[in-house]
Amino acid sequence: MILQASHQHVRKELGRTSQQLTDSIASVGGLDEDLAAAKAKYTYMQEVRGYIADLCDMLQVRPCAAAGLCAACVRVLRASQMAPSADAWQHPCMS
């Protein structure tokens, strides 16, 4: 009688352990999917960060390059007597 009760208890615990193992494996699968999604999002955000950094660098360099072109145009216009008046707008990089 005691042996039968012990055997039933062990079988019950085995069933419970088996179910917990199945649940854990499913949970690990879900975590793997979450990790893959987080990795993809992190990679995307790093690419966006690089794009924004490049854009900021370009925006800092481009106005001064445009000002240089504008200054060259003003020199050409002055040389040809078609220069704008002295109170004409000037780019901040030209002052």
Pair 68, 92: CB distance under 8 Å? no
User: How many other C-beta atoms lie within 10 A of the C-beta of residue 84?
Assistant: 12
75 — pLDDT class (breaks 50, 70, 90): confident
Dump pLDDT digits (tens) for 10-56. 999 999 999 999 999 999 999 999 999 999 999 999 999 999 988 88
Q: What angle do CA 65, 71, 75 make, to 5 degrees?
A: 150
Whole-structure pTM value: 0.51
Q: What is the spatial distance between Cα 58 and Cα 66, in angstroms, rounded to a whole number? A: 12
- Two structure tokens written together for 47: 């690419």
